Chain A
Amino acid sequence: MLQASSDELEEFETDSESQTRPVIETRGLTKRFGTVTALDHIDLTIRAGEFVSVMGPSGSGKTTFLNLISCLDTPTEGSYLLDGIDVSTFTEKERAVMRRERIGLVFQQFHLIPYLNAQENVMLAQHYHSVVDAEGATRALERVGLADRAHHLPSQLSGGEQQRVCIARALINEPSLILADEPTGNLDAKNEHLVMELFSELHREGRVIVLITHNPELGRRTDRTIWFEHGRRVRRASEAA
């Protein structure tokens, strides 16, 4: 592995993709927790239509990065433009609006509300976004192959099925970005494959997806992989030209 300068990385990015509209642009994005620098001056551009994986050792700042770009957290330093809007100085209320309007989140632990059925869990995202629409929620469940499980509680669903409900929930409000933090971390190989298939399909439909994973196999199935180490972006020796 080898530390690379931002310039080099920018070049690397420019080479690897066509010049579509940037959806995520970070400049010097930094997050410190007390004395711990979890994220250290990250410059990164992710463009419309990209499927990007984020990899790196444990504690390298992947989740911290995802929390910042999903507007769940604010940077200590640096700027972040989401769809061209500088959100790094947004208030909590404004960030909540960005989350419901533009972000779809998929978690490793699913985080479904246990006393709401699959359809209602999807509808909850609609509730905070705009209007609740049971048919729309059913269609989103159809989309992830769970039309017949709409009225099951999370406890009545397998892990893979729960994760697909979570993806349906992330999709329902047509976000600009789908962000997934190790979405297959709790799934077996078969379900991992199913979920990856779904992400690939969504990508083919033109959505921007950022996927954190520890599995190099999954990383290879994305357009490109961003590597983190000790809170910095690095260029992997194996992928260096």
Chain B
Amino acid sequence: MAAADRPTTVARRGGMGARLLWRALLVRRSRVLAAVTAIAVGAAVIAALASLYFDISAKMSRELRAYGANFIVAPASAEGDKTFSEATYRKLIAELPADRLVGASPFLYGVARIGEREAVIAGLDFAGAQKISPYWQVEGNWIGVDFDERRCMLGERLAESLGLHPGDKIEVSNDDGSFTTELTVRGIVETGEAEDDQILVNRSLAQKLLGMPNVVNLAMLSIQAEGEDADRLASTVEADFPGLDIRPIRQVSQSDGELLDKIKVLMAFVAGIILVITAVCVNSTLTAMIVERRREIGLQKALGADDSAIMRQFLIETVTLSLIGVAVGLVIGFGLAQLLGQAVFSTAISFRAIVVPATLAISLIAALAAAIVPIRRAIRIVPAQVLKGE
């Protein structure tokens, strides 16, 4: 009767398992519904919080990064001179608390020619500029060392209009053609700001080219200081440098970042509680299902199912319930994220692909953890005991 000579039937072995699974679940619709609902609710909350978290933090950090520098130093506006000396800049840096100084760069601006084309040239300290502008998108490379007078970086729009790429060589000269030098394009930089149209060179080179030795126009600083603390720091330093205007900028974004950190902790807390509740619901539902099915399990064992077959069956069942729950939860969760996004952050929340695997992984871990004890219970069922008696 066993049809060992019919290979076509081999493939259908999985079919019986699937049939058993679906029928077993279908006859216990209310229990299945309870388990799926528990998982869906958990997954919805996880998905909503994950959507908020990933989307808001992506948006926020874009904003935050865009203002990497939080202090701007310029000559006091009352004076006619638009520059201040490099020596003053160095004294200023020396006076700042070193442990809170993230980065700083002076800037000197002027007009230069690349061939026939006029462009703004900016002289800066590349090492410092990289620290205060981590958001700059660079194709090719940053210039790593100060005093490099043979290479430059180009703003993305300027490079595009000139058809230049990293590695290309350009002739840069000053307005009257009295100073010319050949530079290699080290990198193309995209900032979304004025730099996109500029040619960036080392400060010392810009000073030579523009004929403005030992002076700069302004300086950008990134210092770990926010709010009133930043104001206080600015006025303290300003007092020592009467010729300079030192202004903190963009404090608002900074405090938004702090708020985000707090919300992150809150989200993790809520997600944790929801997961525990989900796991408890899944655990009790699975336990009830297994108690109801102890005869079936005993019979399956009597027919030759070993412990691993029983375990596999209930693991597959748990994963199936989880997948359905997570699918439902993701849809609800994304909707929930929109509501929360509008209510809390006044913004629409974009769908972030990472939310799907994150929600799935967290929900599966919770559901499988919840299934451990019920499955152990199923494995421990003794067929001789459950099959006798009425």
A133→B6 contact, CB < 8 A: yes
Main SS class of interface, A? helix
Residues of A within 8 A of B17 (CB): 127
- Complex-state Cα separation, A70 to B384, whole angstroms: 10
Number of A residues with CB within 8 Å of any CB on chain B: 42
B13→A132 contact, CB < 8 A: yes
Given A111-B295, A114-B27, verify A101-B304 contact (CB < 8 Å).
yes
Q: Does A128 contact B (CB under 8 A)?
A: yes
Instruction: Please give the distance in Å from A173's CB to the nearest CB on chain B.
Output: 6
What band does the interface of chain B fall in when counting residues whose beta carbon is under 8 Å from A?
A: 35 or more
Instruction: Please give the distance in Å from B235's CB to the nearest CB on chain A.
Output: 79
A128→B304 contact, CB < 8 A: yes
Q: Does B16 contact A (CB under 8 A)?
A: yes
**Most chain B beta-carbon contacts within 10 A, residue among A96, A100, A111, A116:** A96
B303→A140 contact, CB < 8 A: no
Closest to B293 in A: A113
Q: Does B110 contact A (CB under 8 A)?
A: no
Residues of B within 8 A of A194 (CB): none
- Complex-state Cα separation, A116 to B1, whole angstroms: 20
Instruction: Please give the distance in Å from B301's CB to the nearest CB on chain A.
Output: 7
B13→A120 contact, CB < 8 A: no
Q: Does B258 contact A (CB under 8 A)?
A: no
Residues of A within 8 A of B16 (CB): 120, 123-124, 126-127, 132
B23→A115 contact, CB < 8 A: yes
Q: Does A1 contact B (CB under 8 A)?
A: no
Option from A99, A113, A114, A140 in Cβ contact (under 8 Å) with B1: A140
Instruction: Please give the distance in Å from A76's CB to the nearest CB on chain B.
Output: 14
A126→B2 contact, CB < 8 A: yes
Closest to A109 in B: B390
- Complex-state Cα separation, A100 to B299, whole angstroms: 12
Q: Does B3 contact A (CB under 8 A)?
A: yes
Q: Does B90 contact A (CB under 8 A)?
A: no
Q: Does A157 contact B (CB under 8 A)?
A: no
Residues of A within 8 A of B382 (CB): 73
Closest to B24 in A: A115
Q: Does A10 contact B (CB under 8 A)?
A: no
**Most chain B beta-carbon contacts within 10 A, residue among A125, A126, A129, A134:** A126
Q: Report B1-21 residues with CB < 8 Å from chain A CB.
A: 1-4, 6, 9-10, 12-13, 15-17, 19-20
Residues of B within 8 A of A123 (CB): 16
Option from B2, B24, B301 in Cβ contact (under 8 Å) with A130: B2
A124→B300 contact, CB < 8 A: yes
Residues of B within 8 A of A174 (CB): 1-2
Residues of B within 8 A of A96 (CB): 301, 304-307, 309
Residues of B within 8 A of A133 (CB): 2-3, 6, 9, 12
Residues of A within 8 A of B300 (CB): 124, 128
Q: Does B388 contact A (CB under 8 A)?
A: yes
Option from A116, A131, A169, A171 in Cβ contact (under 8 Å) with B13: A131
Q: Does B302 contact A (CB under 8 A)?
A: yes
Closest to B302 in A: A105
- Complex-state Cα separation, A169 to B300, whole angstroms: 12
Q: Does B383 contact A (CB under 8 A)?
A: yes
Q: Does A139 contact B (CB under 8 A)?
A: yes
Q: Mark B366-390, 1 if CB is under 8 A from A, else 0.
A: 0000000000000000111001101
B304→A97 contact, CB < 8 A: yes
Residues of A within 8 A of B3 (CB): 131, 133, 135-136
Q: Does A85 contact B (CB under 8 A)?
A: no
- Complex-state Cα separation, A96 to B23, whole angstroms: 24
Q: List 7 A-B contacts (CB under 8 A).
A: A63-B388, A67-B384, A73-B384, A101-B304, A127-B20, A133-B12, A134-B9
- Which 4 A-B residue pairings sit nearest by Cβ, starting from the closest? A100-B304, A96-B306, A133-B3, A127-B16
Apart from A92-B307, A124-B300, A132-B15, 12 more pairs, CB < 8 Å? A67-B384, A72-B301, A72-B383, A96-B305, A99-B304, A101-B304, A113-B20, A120-B19, A130-B4, A135-B3, A139-B1, A169-B303
List residues of chain B with CB under 8 Å of any chain A CB: 1-4, 6, 9-10, 12-13, 15-17, 19-20, 23-24, 26-27, 295-296, 298-309, 382-384, 387-388, 390
